[in-house]
Amino acid sequence: MPNIATNSVIPNLARGFAGPGGLVGRALTAADAAPLTALSDEAGWNQTRRDWTIMLALGSGFAYFDGARPVASALALPYARVGAAPPTGFVSMVLTTASWQRRGLARTLTARCVDALDAAGCVPGLDATPAGRAVYRTIGFSDAFALDRWRADAAKRVGAPPPPGVSLRPIGLIDAAMVALDAASIGAARPSILRELKARRPDLAWAAWRDGAVVGLAFGRDGRTAAQIGPVVAATPGIAVALISRALDAVGGAAIVDLLRGQDEAGALLSAAGLAPVREFTRMFRGAAPTVSGLLVAAAGPELA
Among residues 105, 127, 146, the one where a domain terminates is 146
DSSP string, 197-223: HHHH-GGG-EEEEETTEEEEEEEEE--
Q: What domain range includes position 124?
A: 7-146
Residues 64, 156: one domain?
no
Total number of domains constituting the chain? 2
pLDDT tens digits, 133-144: 999 999 999 999
Residues 44, 179: one domain?
no
Give the pLDDT of residue 9.
40
Give the pLDDT of residue 219.
98
d(C-alpha 246, C-alpha 162), whole Å: 10
Say what the pTM is.
0.93
Residues 291, 159: one domain?
yes
Give the pLDDT of residue 15.
63
Say what angle helices 130-137 and 105-119 make with each other, to 10 degrees. 60
Instruction: Please name which of 232, 278, 282, 283 lies closest in space to residue 254, comparing C-alpha atoms.
Output: 278
Strand duo 213-221 + 123-128: pairing: unpaired
Residues 200, 74: one domain?
no
Asked if the structure places residue 124 within a domain, the reply is yes
pLDDT tens digits, 50-109: 999 999 999 999 999 999 999 999 999 999 998 888 999 999 999 999 999 999 999 999
d(C-alpha 258, C-alpha 261), whole Å: 9
Residues 161, 291: one domain?
yes
Asked if the structure places residue 2 within a domain, the reply is no
Asked if the structure places residue 162 within a domain, the reply is yes
3-state DSSP of 47-114: CCHHHHHHHHHHCEEEEEEECCEEEEEEEEEECECCCCCCCEEEEEEEEECHHHCCCCHHHHHHHHHH
Asked if the structure places residue 305 within a domain, the reply is no
Residues 258, 129: one domain?
no
Residues 72, 107: one domain?
yes
Among residues 146, 164, 183, the one where a domain terminates is 146
Residues of the chain with pLDDT under 50: 1-14
